[in-house]
Amino acid sequence: MIFNKSLDNVSIYEAGKPIELVVREFGIDPHDIVKLASNENPYGTCDAVADIIARKSVSAFVYPDDSMYELKDALANEYQVVPQNIVIGAGSDQVIEFCIHAKCHTNSKVLMAKTTFAMYEIYAKQVGATILKTPSDAHNLDEFREIYKNEGSDIIFLCLPNNPLGECLDAKDVYSFLDEVDSNTLVILDGAYQEFASYKDGAKKIIPSEVINKYPNVIYLGTFSKAYGLGGMRVGYGISNEEIIKVLHKVRPPFNITTLSLAGAIEALKHKGFVQMGIEKNFSQMKRYEDYATSKGLRFIPSYTNFITIYMDGFVSKDVAYELLKLGIIVRDMTGYGFNAIRITIGRDEQNSKVFNALDLILSDKK
Ligand SMILES: *Cc1c(COP(=O)(O)O)cnc(C)c1O
């Protein structure tokens, strides 16, 4: 069968391995498995959020409120914007898809960092757009400027902070870059880990209301999957000016968020203390990873997120990841990104201790 030609060079997104797979393949008890591959919140959500999701299940036969009025209202309050500035997606992933579909076609160009969130490229290639990447792995705005000046671009992605490397640009540098971008180029600021970055260093904090007031060509993306602990509910959002949001609604399918997702997200916004606790613990546990890596002579990338990328100097990262998997620990091998490194989501105290014990075994075996 002949398919859309554009799909010929689209690769399938490789999601972090699910617990079920490790249970099946290695016969490990699901309770003993430590899943640190998808940057989920290891503290989950608070009881109030779990309760409301359970209670709403009796209304699961009714379509959700497609206007998503309550969630938009809550987010508008949170970010000091109006509901007309907001579009909701099944994860911010879906908002990325809306942006690409609204703006790009076969002759379009999409500019991004060399090593960044894989979905930018996948969605752009689906519509046949040309991908432009800066030469350095991490975000380097001078390289973005250079390519943009020479080639132009319909969309520019900045991932702040960047997944899978964990580095983050300063907000003031992002703003001065935005000053130089043409009003017909859509700039997507992906803030999936902004809650973490702005806690660690205020200089990284992007303020969506300021950005969209000053730059009519920018959209800010946020998600409930990371700091808010609702990855399984699939809720993300885009904040931009009304004109852009209106167009994005043209490509949004009806009822794209479930009733349970809406209720969970609305409730989660009311429990900031819980989220804050998770963020604080994240960075105190991250310190343990930094100390561990240093003690083993392994380099790591200082991270503004809830994961850390550690180079496996002297070892083969793919093998290390597989040995960890056999011990029931799921991490992300970075070989596919061209890095001899593993990316580990920062887990709970006892999960991280398991990782260190397992790495002790694996790294002493191989050297
Ligand atoms: C996790 C993540 C997202 C979005 O995840 P959703 O679950 O689809 O909201 C977006 N961008 C980056 C960089 C991410 O890591």
- Answer whether 305 contacts ligand 1 (Cβ < 6 A): no
Identify the residue whose C-alpha is closest to ligand 1 atom 7: 91
Q: How far apart are CA 126 and CA 6, in angstroms?
A: 6
Decide if pLDDT at 24 tops 90: no
Asked if pLDDT for residue 212 goes beyond 80, the answer is yes
pLDDT score for 154: 98
pLDDT of residue 21: 82
- Which tens digits make up the pLDDT trace of 283-308? 999 999 999 999 999 999 999 999 99
Q: How far is the CA of 218 from the centre of ligand 1 (A)?
A: 18
Ordered by start, the domain boundaries in the chain are 5-44+273-365, 47-272
**Among 20-24, 31-35, 333-337, which stretch is predicted with the lowest mean pLDDT?**
20-24
With a 6 Å cutoff on the Cβ, whether 190 touches ligand 1 is yes
Cα 42 from Cα 278, distance rounded (Å): 8
With bands split at pLDDT 50, 70 and 90, how would you rate the model's confidence at 318?
very high
- Of 2.30.30.30, 3.20.20.370, 3.90.1150.10, 3.90.660.20, the CATH number of 5-44+273-365 is 3.90.1150.10
The percentage of residues in the chain with a pLDDT greater than 70, rounded to a whole number, is 99
pLDDT of 9: 85
> Residue 216: which of 172, 247, 170 has the closest Cα?
247
Burial category of 176 from C-beta neighbours within 10 Å (exposed 0-12, middle 13-18, buried 19 and up): exposed
225 lines ligand 1 (CB under 6 A): yes
- The CATH topology of domain 47-272 is Aspartate Aminotransferase; domain 2 (3.40.640)
- Centre of ligand 1 to C-alpha 367, Å, is 36
At how many degrees (to 10) do helices 118-126 and 92-103 cross? 40
- 265 token code pair: 């997200």
- Of 10-24, 169-183, 294-308, 338-352, the range with the lowest mean pLDDT is 10-24
Give the residue among 60, 21, 59 at the shortest CA–CA distance from 37.
21
pTM for the predicted model, two decimal places? 0.96
Q: What average pLDDT does range 323-333 have in this prediction?
A: 95
Please check whether the two domains, 5-44+273-365 and 47-272, share a CATH topology: no
Convert 296-320 to b/e letters by CB count within 10 Å (16 or more is b): bebebbebbbbbbbbbbeebebeeb
**Which amino acid is located at 137 in the chain?**
D
The predicted pLDDT at position 366 comes to: 53
**What's the 87 CA to ligand 1 centre distance in angstroms?**
15
Secondary structure of the chain in HEC code, one letter for each residue: CCCCHHHHHCCCCCCCCCHHHHHHHHCCCHHHCEECCCCCCCCCCCHHHHHHHHHHHHHCCCCCCCCCHHHHHHHHHHHCCCHHHEEEECCHHHHHHHHHHHHCCCCCEEEECCCCCHHHHHHHHHCCCEEEECCCCCCCHHHHHHHHHHHCCCEEEEECCCCCCCCCCCHHHHHHHHHCCCCCCEEEEECCCHHHHHHHCHHHCCCHHHHHHHCCCEEEEEECCCCCCCHHHCCEEEECCHHHHHHHHHHCCCCCCCHHHHHHHHHHCCCHHHHHHHHHHHHHHHHHHHHHHHHCCCCEECCCCCEEEEECCCCCHHHHHHHHHHCCEECEECHHHCCCEEEEECCCHHHHHHHHHHHHHHHHHHC
Q: Ligand 1 in contact with 236 (CB < 6 A)?
A: yes
Mutation test residue for ligand 1: of 40, 97, 112, 119, the one with most atoms within 8 Å of CB: 119
Q: Ligand 1 centre and the CA of 13: distance in Å? A: 13
For residue 364, the CA-to-ligand 1 centroid distance in Å is 35
pLDDT in tens, 131-146: 999 999 999 999 999 9
- Best residue among 94, 139, 163, 168 to mutate for probing ligand 1, ranked by most atoms within 8 Å of CB: 163
CA distance 88 to 90: 7
Average pLDDT over the chain, rounded to whole? 96
Q: Is 192 in the pocket of ligand 1 (CB under 6 A)?
A: yes
According to the model, what pLDDT value does residue 254 have?
Answer: 96
The whole-number pLDDT of residue 297 equals: 95
pLDDT, position 365: 65
User: How many angstroms separate the CA atoms of 355 and 70, rounded?
Assistant: 41
Query: What is the tens place of the pLDDT at every residue in 149-175?
Result: 999 999 999 999 999 999 999 999 999
Per-residue pLDDT for 367 more than 60? no
pLDDT of residue 15: 76
What's the pLDDT score for residue 12?
85
State the average pLDDT over residues 37-50.
96
User: What pLDDT is attached to residue 301?
Assistant: 97
Nearest-atom index, ligand 1, CA of 159: 13
Atom of ligand 1 nearest to the CA of 94: 8
Q: Rounded to the nearest whole angstrom, what is the distance from the C-alpha of residue 314 to the centroid of ligand 1? A: 31
Separation of CA 89 and ligand 1 centre (Å): 11
Give the residue with greater pLDDT, 40 vs 13. 40
Ligand 1 pocket: which of 98, 116, 117 to mutate (most atoms <8 Å of CB)? 117
